[in-house]
Structure 1
């Protein structure tokens, strides 16, 4: 009986993994430029973390989490997003006492959501994310947005559209919440069951409903920007000025609502306007959160971050024709003739690798011609040929695969000689 991969997951094959490593390396490099350091949290956490951190009214908690009981009867959840685990670690390890504040962190890892699988949306997806915790300065918001833009541009994407909004502080959100309840209440029976349940708990989620997105009341719903108090308005205006100062174009969308309960003030999404990719597609999103750290037992401080899907980024690069050829090829492929040469080749390979060179040989007993074909497939820069004649003389024939030129090199000097040729 064949056992197939679970629905909504994928195997990343070797030729694909090279592209994953390419974009991951770019994300790490830009993280370093912005002074972010890596944090690694468990793949599973206590279910309560996401119930409290993400919010009981979200689709993630209500419908999408992979939750199970462990052998001690504790409720455990495979992490559906990265912010709550990072904040949990921040609180538990008392990182608010770290001398460098705000604390700038980045993470990589798989996330899990039980959703209908479709293009760019998997049940296990791989995410890069950042969190800047401990500052209320709007400049951090602008920096986080700039960092996300830099990653996409460094990967080779243009035609990016940045959309921003403000969800306001707690006072502004309360005023907007009351206005939404008054707006939707008279006709709430026309909405789906989820929206009806959200009306009193979190009516902002109604604006993000996929089922009722075309309902006429959605178009006339009160906009959060009309309910920003003076502090929230001033904060949002400064974020806009900073983005303008950085020469980062943006569009304000009062209907931009992020899917997690902890967001306040700045929220944003980056979209790709690419004809080959279809309609305008969201690549990443993020925003500021206040109260989350305190809710999880930490001090009353705020943070901001974003999460970036590696799969969706690679899809965008493919649609853009911007996936680079990242197969570097081998430095040396060792061609051996005979059993004695094959055994001797094991030591030569070790010496080459110890010198920092990538090297390989045949392990299937192939003929010489087939070994050269293998070297071509592996895009080897050089082949080192070892047979009876070379064993007797202590030399190796080194062939430049691009020019075809060949020279005899002492076995003990092979690694150093290839290094010299590379320079």
Structure 2
């Protein structure tokens, strides 16, 4: 029988790696909650229409990358390719945007792409969405939060903030017409993808990776020349606020992002440490999306970060999560010793619930159990044999510290382990 395998691009996350995931997730969770963000959990399946309306029907995501299927009722459903649309849908449906609201979420997203390092078909994101504030201080605070995260993780020196304003929908439409007029004169010199996008989503040509196309764009109309006054003033104010708290950035007039719902501010945190998949966090403002999806006109701004790429960046910098190890490992020898070990370890778990305390299961010789205790990384092995069971004592063998083996009364064991934990 053929061995069953995970779907390509949807890897398992094994126990050897989950400690790093949990450490990163906790870092982010603590930070976003300190900024007033509350967690929301949305389903991974949504109506396909939600993403077609929000992301845009002529975007690469909707046209080529979504996992879409008809259920038994004939309804078209899609595994979520990003989180903002579902978060907005949930906020509208549950009346969460009647007042300013800060929400964050975490979970898997799905896109049918060619799997490679840093680009998977199932990938994990953390996203933040702030509703109800139209002024650029909301954008600035969100960006400052992300900058603080990079400092806390120790990667601030290897990431760069790229920043742009794409203006109002009306200003962008005027610019789009000017861009199409210019590029149409050079259509034969565009790469294949850009030729296709010229008629469907011309702004995406600005971030083409083709060198020849980028050379043509050097003489193309500049998006900033078409910004409306409000967008230009908001962008200036945003830059002033970022400057005031020392968040460094590079204005990139070709940065447009690949989703139709953005307006005004867009940004990306990028790094050169990960090769082609250098964007680790991205977002922007989407003041029209709530109304577009059936809610009241409500401004919004948010970002999402790819956890796989952040972990790859941490690994590239030699930054690892602190490894946790149990405080103690229980070893039982003989029938009476095994019983005393079991009851003793459970009692310790009652007394010291904040600590990781392990129990040998499956029996084994004393030597084999001690090997397991040492392999676990425990500070001390707690040994119960027939003698300890009879005398209501336990023997402590120190596995990491230069202390002699000792035997103590069972009634003093909790106190002794507290002493050991305080010397960590």
Q: TM-score range by the shorter chain?
A: over 0.9
Task: Show the counterpart of 2:244.
Answer: 245
* Cα displacement (A) at 1:13: 1.1
| Secondary structure at 2:186 match in 1 | helix
**Between 277-286 and 159-168, the greater mean CA deviation after superposition:** 277-286
Task: Show the counterpart of 1:137.
Answer: 135
Please report the RMSD computed on the Cα atoms of aligned residues, expressed in angstroms: 1.9
Contact 2:175/2:223, CA 8 A, preserved across alignment: yes
Contact 2:105/2:126, CA 8 A, preserved across alignment: yes
| Secondary structure at 1:294 match in 2 | helix
| Secondary structure at 2:181 match in 1 | helix
Tell me: CA distance 1:244–1:253, structure 2 relative to 1, closer, same or farther (3 Å): same
Q: Does 1:284 find its partner at 2:267?
A: no
Task: Show the counterpart of 1:221.
Answer: 220
* Cα displacement (A) at 1:368: 1.5
Task: Show the counterpart of 1:315.
Answer: 312
Contact 2:337/2:389, CA 8 A, preserved across alignment: yes
Task: Show the counterpart of 1:335.
Answer: 331
**Between 63-72 and 181-190, the greater mean CA deviation after superposition:** 181-190
Contact 2:290/2:297, CA 8 A, preserved across alignment: yes
Task: Show the counterpart of 2:262.
Answer: 263
* Cα displacement (A) at 1:341: 1.7
Contact 1:334/1:361, CA 8 A, preserved across alignment: yes
Contact 2:208/2:214, CA 8 A, preserved across alignment: no
Tell me: CA distance 1:213–1:12, structure 2 relative to 1, closer, same or farther (3 Å): farther
**Between 19-28 and 367-376, the greater mean CA deviation after superposition:** 367-376
Runs of 5+ consecutive residues of structure 2 not aligned to the other structure? none
Q: How far, CA to CA, are the matches of 2:237 and 2:39 in structure 1? A: 29
**Between 403-412 and 280-289, the greater mean CA deviation after superposition:** 403-412
| Secondary structure at 1:95 match in 2 | coil
Task: Show the counterpart of 1:126.
Answer: 124
Contact 2:189/2:212, CA 8 A, preserved across alignment: no
* Cα displacement (A) at 1:251: 0.8
**Between 203-212 and 24-33, the greater mean CA deviation after superposition:** 203-212
Matched positions, count: 417
Q: How far, CA to CA, are the matches of 1:14 and 1:70 in structure 2? A: 34
Task: Show the counterpart of 1:147.
Answer: 145
| Secondary structure at 2:185 match in 1 | helix
Task: Show the counterpart of 2:343.
Answer: 347
The 5 Å alignment of 1:6-405 reads 6-97=7-98, 101-159=99-157, 160-188=159-187, 190-191=189-190, 195-210=194-209, 214=213, 216-274=215-273, 277-278=274-275, 281-324=278-321, 326-355=322-351, 356=353, 357-401=355-399, 402-405=401-404
Tell me: CA distance 1:231–1:302, structure 2 relative to 1, closer, same or farther (3 Å): same
Q: How far, CA to CA, are the matches of 2:220 and 2:409 in structure 1? A: 80
* Cα displacement (A) at 1:150: 1.4
Tell me: CA distance 1:158–1:294, structure 2 relative to 1, closer, same or farther (3 Å): same
Cα deviations by residue, 1:30-62 (Å, 9 ceiling, x for unpaired) = 112211111100011111110001111111100
Q: How far, CA to CA, are the matches of 2:191 and 2:66 in structure 1? A: 21
| Secondary structure at 1:96 match in 2 | coil
Cα deviations by residue, 1:42-100 (Å, 9 ceiling, x for unpaired) = 01111111000111111110000001111111111000001001000011101122xxx
Q: How far, CA to CA, are the matches of 2:186 and 2:154 in structure 1? A: 47
| Secondary structure at 2:266 match in 1 | strand
| Secondary structure at 1:322 match in 2 | coil
* Cα displacement (A) at 1:215: 5.5
Q: How far, CA to CA, are the matches of 1:300 and 1:238 in structure 2? A: 23
Cα deviations by residue, 1:165-200 (Å, 9 ceiling, x for unpaired) = 000012221221111121122333554665445434
**Between 185-194 and 259-268, the greater mean CA deviation after superposition:** 185-194
Q: How far, CA to CA, are the matches of 2:212 and 2:236 in structure 1? A: 29
Contact 1:192/1:212, CA 8 A, preserved across alignment: no
**Between 144-153 and 74-83, the greater mean CA deviation after superposition:** 144-153
Contact 1:207/1:213, CA 8 A, preserved across alignment: no
Q: How far, CA to CA, are the matches of 2:146 and 2:129 in structure 1? A: 12
Contact 2:118/2:309, CA 8 A, preserved across alignment: yes
Tell me: CA distance 1:191–1:279, structure 2 relative to 1, closer, same or farther (3 Å): closer
